[in-house]
Amino acid sequence: MYRPIHDPSDQQIFQQDIDTLLHWSHNWQMNFNAKNCYILTVSCKSQKHASSYTPDNITLLSVESFTYLGVTVSSDLRWHKHVATVSAKATLILNLLHRNIYFCTSELEALAFTSLVRPHLEYASAS
């Protein structure tokens, strides 16, 4: 869920939105696991509003960054953590390839790189 928060009344409206979602999930007999939900406040200000939301009497944790569909979004919308995570994962796979296919032909090494390393580097990229 997303809502711009400018003042305390916006926080109350957002809490009502959460309560409406919970009511809908109970009506349709769907389990809503509030323990897997987090608050990510996106702002360019160094001081952020401390707000807490409570679905089913469970206070949601506030986080500085969150990974959603493989993309790490930070509260300041910088990509440092995402780039570090992606490059570390690609490096691990590349090192695995170097250890295990050193005896293969260069064509097979290129195919392994294209199949196993490159998708991690190119996923969710702008180019």
pLDDT in tens, 37-82: 898 888 877 666 667 888 877 888 888 899 989 999 998 888 899 9
- Tell me: pLDDT of 91 over 70: yes
Mean pLDDT of all residues belonging to the chain? 88
- Are the beta carbons of 41 and 21 closer than 8 angstroms? no
Is the whole-model pTM more than 0.85?
no
Cα dihedral sign, 12-18-19-21: positive
- Are the beta carbons of 75 and 40 closer than 8 angstroms? yes
Residue (of 59, 51, 13) closest to 34 by Cα position: 59
- Tell me: pLDDT of 118 over 90: yes
